[in-house]
Amino acid sequence: MPTLPTEFRKVRRGHHGLYKLINDYSFDTVLDVGAGAGAHAAVLHANRKAVTAIDFGTSVYAEHRSSSVPWQRVDIDFFDFTPETAFDCVWACHVLEHQTDPGAFIRRCIALTKPDGIIAITVPPLKHRIVGGHLPLWNAGLLLYQLTFNGLDTRDAAICSYGYNVTVIVRNTARPPVSLDHDKGDLLRLKPFMPAFVDEPFEGRIHR
């Protein structure tokens, strides 16, 4: 992993993923989902992105946010948010593990991202210790599988595994419809639209 500038090292979660997103991808507007105290929104804003930060506004992280910020802030359920236009990028850091329906969350991210835009999701790595609010468990392979299963072509996905973070960045490019059985064999059917290392089965602990 590269040595990060100070502004990224200060971010508690998703720091390498955020750095890669800003440095390797071109975008102007970004939706920060589950923005909490606004640490990621602040870095995105400092890098001249037009940020909309969305959060329930009731989490322990949101309690520590500033009363006034130079970006748009919206306190609403993500599924009830209906912006006038889609975003160039959707950034969701340590949010997917809190979802009761991860597929619905991913499909909502797709709907709020412009075609060929960027979807960047960071999750914690799979662990056996259960903590409040963390419902589904993840590794990089499962996240890739879910993104592809829910309609995306992930062949060019960027994958970063570091510390307590797994970041996957993909383009909002739809894969063709595939008939799936929700059982053994599905990965082989989805394989043409996933990175070259994917097979059935494949190792989900991807370190890059």
Q: What is the pLDDT of residues 26-67, one digit of tens each?
A: 999 999 999 999 999 999 999 999 999 999 866 766 666 777
Question: What pLDDT score was predicted for residue 23?
Answer: 97
For residue 1, what pLDDT band results from cuts at 50, 70 and 90?
Answer: confident
Between CA 160 and CA 179 the distance in angstroms is: 30
Q: Any residues with CB less than 8 A from the CB of 42 and at least 6 apart, and which?
A: 69
Domain parsing of the chain, residue ranges: 6-193
Structure tokens at 121: 């999701």
- In 3D, which of 150, 146, 148, 95 has the Cα closest to residue 123? 95
Contact between 121 and 152 (Cβ < 8 Å): no
Q: Any residues with CB less than 8 A from the CB of 11 and at least 6 apart, and which?
A: 18, 39, 40, 43
- For range 63-92, the mean pLDDT: 92
Residue written as token pair 């890669």:
20
Structure letter (DSSP) for residue 3? P
Percent of the chain clearing pLDDT 90 (strictly above): 89
CATH 1.10.357.10, domain 6-193, yes or no: no
Question: What pLDDT score was predicted for residue 62?
Answer: 65
Question: What pLDDT score was predicted for residue 180?
Answer: 98
Res. 18: pLDDT tops 90: yes
The pTM of this model reads 0.95
Q: Is 116 helix (H, G, I), strand (E, B) or coil?
A: strand
Structure letter (DSSP) for residue 25? -
Buried b (16+ CB within 10 A) or exposed e, 124-136: bbbeeeeeeeeeb
Q: Any residues with CB less than 8 A from the CB of 2 and at least 6 apart, and which?
A: 16, 19
Res. 196: pLDDT tops 80: yes
121-156 pLDDT per residue, tens: 999 999 999 999 999 999 999 999 999 999 999 999
Q: Angle at which helices 39-46 and 15-24 pack, to 10 degrees?
A: 20
Question: What pLDDT score was predicted for residue 19?
Answer: 98
Question: What pLDDT score was predicted for residue 68?
Answer: 83
Between CA 147 and CA 90 the distance in angstroms is: 14
